Amino acid sequence: MNSNFIPTKYDVYVDPQRCRLCERCVENCSYGVFRRDRDRILTFPSNCAVCHRCISFCPADAITISRRVVQYRQHPLWDEEAREDIYNQARTGKVILGGMGNAKYYPNIFDRLVLDACQITSPSIDPLREPMETRVYLGKKPKQLKVSGEGNDVCLKTQLTPNLMLETPIMVAHMSYGAVSLNTQLSFARAVRELGTYMGSGEGGLHKALYPYKDNIIVQVASGRFGVKPSYLNRAAAIEIKAGQGAKPGIGGHLPGEKVNADISKTRMMPEGTDAISPAPHHDIYSIEDLAQLVRALKEATNWEKPVFVKIAAVHNAAAVAAGIARADADAVVVDGFRGGTGAAPKVLRDNVGIPIEAAIASIDEKLRKQGIRNEISIIASGGMRNSSDLTKAIALGADAVYVGTAALVAMGCRVCGKCYTGLCPWGIATQREDLVSRLDPERGALQVQNLLTAWTHELKELMGAAGINSIESLRGNRDRLRGYLLDENILDVLDVKTVGA
């Protein structure tokens, strides 16, 4: 008898009629759900993470996983989750840790925004036959250009600041070596190089194997400063200061000592087996002036040749902070919405802190335009972009480009099972166990990510073409091409979007 007992959530059933006893399920399940017992497979469903690895590898289609319904007395307030979290914490006295992004049923604003299309009075464009520009430049743009000379003999007097050139406005988000496997990072690296876009290194230094891809990598400087040295900063297309993360705004991170193996310790430049603790704030940044000092320190260290981005979590004052970032010599603000993913975050923060990315993009873009400094800084949005329509809407709300994290992982097999923090990812993604990592072939992983981003870019072109827009520049911040469907007046106001029918 256990008064804090939580019923098992799933049933795992192996159909004995179909099962050939090949034991692939036993080999593939890293959570220990299956065991061979003489002429049958025994299951231990309480270990199941619903990652589908067994199902994908069963040659006989013998395995089914279903939700195991154990009826509680129904109550609108005291739902299963509320009760089970209490049982868990009454037993352990600890903070609940969860993987992946926000798991609460907040209404999704993207799903209540619709895009426009042209007909009759203005022509739509067919992207298959006509040029469609998806190239984006991230970084500062001069307010005006000064030239000298006359006639055909003119020369540019304005000094331009370095920009990043993206062939598509989609980049792969920062996921550190440690949080994900090297094969995951290699897959991203190959894909972004093929596509002419970029990936983030995450905070964990840069593994040697990624050096050949340095021109497509944005390196991260976070509060732990792991792996940060002059060569790390110079071996990058751009540098990103991480001040916040959408999945856990306001707190730092830590990679538990168990995950800090020899290779990770070398890349992060820290002793094996110790916790890699990134404090909540950067302790040399307590103000916008301090931020400017770090931005400039990084630029000085790289001879003012690299753009410097600043990543923040989307919270109430994101727009005001972004305006500060624009004045701190930064080249882009990365804003991560409350649906952003993570390997591990306290559930209470993941599910309750921060604001939706849609509102954050709109308010930041608005604030920067009102202050006349929109040209000073690009806006990169991230946090829960599920498809090409989400990102198209994000751009129409004011973003220059987006980062996708979870979607890129899903492209490689991730089932969003949310058990990243166990380090047992059977798909070879969020793990450092050699046998599991080797399950992810970087060539195949790269192809799948490349396929996804190619398909999304094509769909983006279709959506633009339908709206009669042939350049991403004309889509950016073009809120007139959005309408709100059943959004309340306050949100429409924040988004600066009209209602459907208007």
The residue among 421 and 427 lying less far from other proteins, judged by its C-beta, is 421
The least distance separating other proteins from the CB of residue 350, rounded to whole angstroms, comes to: 9
User: Do the bridges between strand 401-404 and strand 170-172 make them parallel or antiparallel, or are there none, so unpaired?
Assistant: parallel
The residue among 29 and 170 lying less far from other proteins, judged by its C-beta, is 29
Burial class (CB in 10 A: 0-12, 13-18, 19+), 322: buried
The least distance separating other proteins from the CB of residue 26, rounded to whole angstroms, comes to: 24
Query: Facing residues of 403 across strands?
Result: 171, 382
The residue among 233 and 463 lying less far from other proteins, judged by its C-beta, is 233
Beta-sheet strands, E only, within 237-348: 238-242, 253-255, 276-278, 308-313, 332-336, 345-346
The least distance separating other proteins from the CB of residue 2, rounded to whole angstroms, comes to: 14
Taking the alpha carbons of 348, 349, 353, 356 in that order, is the dihedral positive or negative? Answer: negative
The residue among 415 and 479 lying less far from other proteins, judged by its C-beta, is 415
The least distance separating other proteins from the CB of residue 192, rounded to whole angstroms, comes to: 26
The least distance separating other proteins from the CB of residue 166, rounded to whole angstroms, comes to: 26
* Residues 417 and 29: beta-carbon distance below 8 Å: no
- φ, ψ of residue 22 in degrees (nearest 5): -80, -15
* Residues 249 and 317: beta-carbon distance below 8 Å: no
The residue among 73 and 94 lying less far from other proteins, judged by its C-beta, is 94
Give the amino acid at 296.
Answer: R
The residue among 161 and 454 lying less far from other proteins, judged by its C-beta, is 161
- Tokens standing for residue 447: 């192809």
The residue among 298 and 385 lying less far from other proteins, judged by its C-beta, is 298
The residue among 70 and 165 lying less far from other proteins, judged by its C-beta, is 70
The least distance separating other proteins from the CB of residue 257, rounded to whole angstroms, comes to: 6
Binding site for other proteins (CB under 8 A): 6, 9, 84-85, 88-89, 91-92, 94-99, 223-225, 228-231, 233, 254, 256-257, 265, 269-271, 273-275, 277, 279, 283-284, 290, 293-294, 296-298, 300-304, 346-347, 418, 421-422
The least distance separating other proteins from the CB of residue 310, rounded to whole angstroms, comes to: 17
* Residues 395 and 382: beta-carbon distance below 8 Å: no
The residue among 119 and 303 lying less far from other proteins, judged by its C-beta, is 303
CA torsion 315-359-97-405 (nearest 10°) is -120
The residue among 301 and 447 lying less far from other proteins, judged by its C-beta, is 301
Within 10 angstroms of residue 366's Cβ, the number of other Cβ atoms is: 19
Q: Which residues fall within 8 angstroms of residue 339, CB to CB, at 6 or more apart? A: 101, 102, 246, 356, 357, 383, 384
The least distance separating other proteins from the CB of residue 95, rounded to whole angstroms, comes to: 5
Separation CA 353–CA 347 (nearest Å): 10
The residue among 339 and 461 lying less far from other proteins, judged by its C-beta, is 339
Separation CA 376–CA 354 (nearest Å): 25
Nearest to 415, CA basis, from 428, 432, 404: 428
Separation CA 291–CA 260 (nearest Å): 29
The least distance separating other proteins from the CB of residue 8, rounded to whole angstroms, comes to: 10
The least distance separating other proteins from the CB of residue 270, rounded to whole angstroms, comes to: 6
Nearest to 282, CA basis, from 203, 221, 219, 200: 221
The least distance separating other proteins from the CB of residue 235, rounded to whole angstroms, comes to: 13
Between helices 318-326 and 357-370, what is the axis angle to 10°?
50
Give the amino acid at 155.
Answer: C
Separation CA 169–CA 472 (nearest Å): 8
DSSP type of residue 158: S
**Interior angle at CA 259, CA 257 and CA 265, nearest 5:** 80
- φ, ψ of residue 242 in degrees (nearest 5): -95, 110
The residue among 241 and 333 lying less far from other proteins, judged by its C-beta, is 241
Separation CA 270–CA 206 (nearest Å): 13
The least distance separating other proteins from the CB of residue 294, rounded to whole angstroms, comes to: 8
